[in-house]
Structure 1
C-alpha cells in the first residue's frame, strides 16, 4: 500500500488566509493528497528570551513572526473540501482551555463529516505559556494529560463528567458530538511522552530530522507498546519541513528535503521503509505565494509517487 501523503496549509505572512487556505486545500484534494495540516506558533518574542526549541543561541525562523490560528485555518479548509483529512501537527494543547478545545474539535469533526485528526504537543516556548495563562510551562505534561481526558469525555456519550485540576464538569449534555471517534496523535520524543502515547493516544507525530533518529524512536515506541500489551496499532504521520528549489542542489552539505522535487522525493523514501503510514510535506515557508505553493505541491506529489512513495 502506498504511503499516504499530506500537505501543510498556508499560514505564513505571504498568504491571504481567507482566500489562500481554501484555494490550496481544494488544490491538494484535486492533486491526490490524502490530508491537509496546520501547525501552531502563537507569538514571536522580540527580543528572543530563549532559542528555538529552547536551545540556547538557535534563532527562531522568520516565518514564525506570522502564523495564522490553526483552528481557523482548518475550518476554512473543511468548508472547501470533501475528502481530505484535516490535521494538526501540532497543536500546542496546553495553551488552550481543555473544554473549549474539545468542543471546537468536536464541532469541526461534525461539520466536516468525520475528517479531523487531533495532533497535540506540549510545546517549548516560555513566552507562549506566559501569554496563554493556563498553567506554567513546568506543568505542560499534566495539562496535556487533562486535555486528552477532557476531549475523550466531551466526545463521548452524555452525560459528560470530568473532575480535574483545570476543568470541572459534574454532569452535562455537550454537543455536537464528533461524527466518529477523533484520533489523537502526539508528538512524543521522550520516554515519558512515549508512555503517554502508548497509554492514552492513537498515534505518533515524528519530525523528519534524520532516518536513524526516527527509526530509533519508532522502535522504542513499538517495544513499549508490546511491553504494555497494547493491541491497538499506532498510527504514524511524519512531518517533513521541505524547501523547494527549481534546480537540484548539489554537494555533500545539502540539507535533507532541501532541493528539487526529485530530491525531496528521494529523501522521503527511507522513511517509508520504516513502515510509517503517512508523510506530511510542508513547503509553505519557501513559496512566494499560493500559486507557487500549489505548483510545488503538485510537482512534489507527482515525483514522490513516481519514486515509489
Structure 2
C-alpha cells in the first residue's frame, strides 16, 4: 500500500494569502495529494531571546518573519477543496485559549465535512509564550493536557461539562459539533511527551531530521503503547522540511530532503521504509511563488509515486 502524501500550504511572505492558498490547495488536491497542512509561528523576535528550537546561537530563518495564521489558512483551503484532509503540524496549542481553540476546530471540521486533523505541540519559543500564551512556558505540558481535555469535551455530546485550571464549563450546549471525531495528533520525542501521546492522543507527528532517529522513536512509541496497554492504532504523519533546488546538491554535508526533486524523492523512499502512514512534504520555504510551489509539488509527487512511495 502506497504511503499517503501531504503538502504544506503557502503561509510565508512570498505568497498572497487570499489568492495563493485556495489556488495551491485546489491544485494539490487535483494532482493527488491526500492532505494539506499548516504550521504555526506567531512572531519573529528581534533580537531573539533564544536561538531556533531553543538552541543557543542558531538564528531563526528569515522566512519566519511573516507566517500566516494556521486556522485562517486552513479555512481558506477548506473552502477550495472537497477531499483532502486539513491538518496542523503543528499548532502550538498553549498559545491559544482552550475553549476558543476547540470551538474553532469544531467549526472548521463541520464546514469541511469532517476533514480536520488537530496536530498539537507545546512549542519552544519563550518570546511567543510571553506574547500569547495563557499560562507560563514552564506549564506548557499541563496546558496541553487541559487543551486536549477541553477539546474532547467540547466536541462531545451536550451538555458539555469541564472543570480545569484554565477552563470551567458548568453545563452548556456548545455547537457546532465536528462532523466526526477529530483526531488529535501530537509532536512528541521525550518520554513524558510520548506517554501523553499514548494515553491521550490518536496519532504522532515526528519530524524527518534523521531516518535512524525517527525509526528509534517509532519503536519506542510502540513499546510504550504495549507497556501501557494501548490497543488502538497510532496514526503517524512524518513532516519533512524540504530545501528544494533546481540542480542536484553536490558535495559533502547534504541534509535529508535537500537538493533537487530526484534527491528529495530518494529521501522519501528511505523514510517511507520506516513504515509510517503518511509523509507531509513542506516545499513552501524554497519556492519563489505559488506557481513554482505547484510545479515542484507536482514533480515530487509524480516521481515519488513512480519510485513506489
Query: TM-score, normalised to structure 2's length?
Result: 0.99
- Listed one character per residue, the Cα deviations across residues 256-280 of structure 1 (whole Å, up to 9, x for unaligned) are 1011111101001121111101000
| Unaligned ranges ≥5, structure 1 | none
Is the CA contact 2:96–2:133 (under 8 Å) kept in the aligned structure 1?
no
Query: 2:232 corresponds to which residue?
Result: 232
Aligned length, in residue pairs? 309
What is the distance in 1 between the residues matched to 2:255 and 2:300? 17
What is the distance in 1 between the residues matched to 2:48 and 2:173? 44
What is the distance in 2 between the residues matched to 1:283 and 1:5? 13
Query: TM-score, normalised to structure 1's length?
Result: 0.99
What is the distance in 2 between the residues matched to 1:63 and 1:249? 21
Query: 1:162 corresponds to which residue?
Result: 162
Q: How far did 1:248 drift?
A: 1.4
What is the RMSD computed on CA atoms of the aligned residues? Answer: 0.6
Higher alpha-carbon deviation: 34-43 or 124-133 = 124-133
What is the distance in 2 between the residues matched to 1:243 and 1:271? 16
| Unaligned ranges ≥5, structure 2 | none
Query: 1:301 corresponds to which residue?
Result: 301
What is the distance in 1 between the residues matched to 2:132 and 2:249? 41
In the alignment, structure 1 residue 52 sits paired with structure 2 residue 74: no
- Listed one character per residue, the Cα deviations across residues 36-91 of structure 1 (whole Å, up to 9, x for unaligned) are 00000000000111000111001100111000000000000000000000000000
Query: 1:203 corresponds to which residue?
Result: 203
What is the distance in 1 between the residues matched to 2:118 and 2:111? 15
Q: Which runs of 4+ in 1 moved over 2 A?
A: none
What is the distance in 2 between the residues matched to 1:48 and 1:274? 36
Query: 2:172 corresponds to which residue?
Result: 172
What is the distance in 2 between the residues matched to 1:174 and 1:290? 38
Alignment of 1:127-276 (within 5 A): 127-276=127-276
Q: How far did 1:254 drift?
A: 1.6
Is the CA contact 2:160–2:172 (under 8 Å) kept in the aligned structure 1?
yes
Q: Secondary structure at the match of 1:48?
A: coil
Q: Secondary structure at the match of 1:284?
A: coil
Query: 1:292 corresponds to which residue?
Result: 292
What is the distance in 2 between the residues matched to 1:259 and 1:291? 19
In the alignment, structure 1 residue 31 sits paired with structure 2 residue 43: no
What is the distance in 2 between the residues matched to 1:254 and 1:226? 37
What is the distance in 2 between the residues matched to 1:194 and 1:258? 28
Q: Secondary structure at the match of 1:26?
A: helix
What is the distance in 2 between the residues matched to 1:259 and 1:271? 16
Q: How far did 1:252 drift?
A: 2.9
Q: Secondary structure at the match of 1:76?
A: helix
Q: Secondary structure at the match of 1:236?
A: strand
What is the distance in 1 between the residues matched to 2:271 and 2:289? 29
Query: 1:95 corresponds to which residue?
Result: 95
Q: How far did 1:133 drift?
A: 4.1
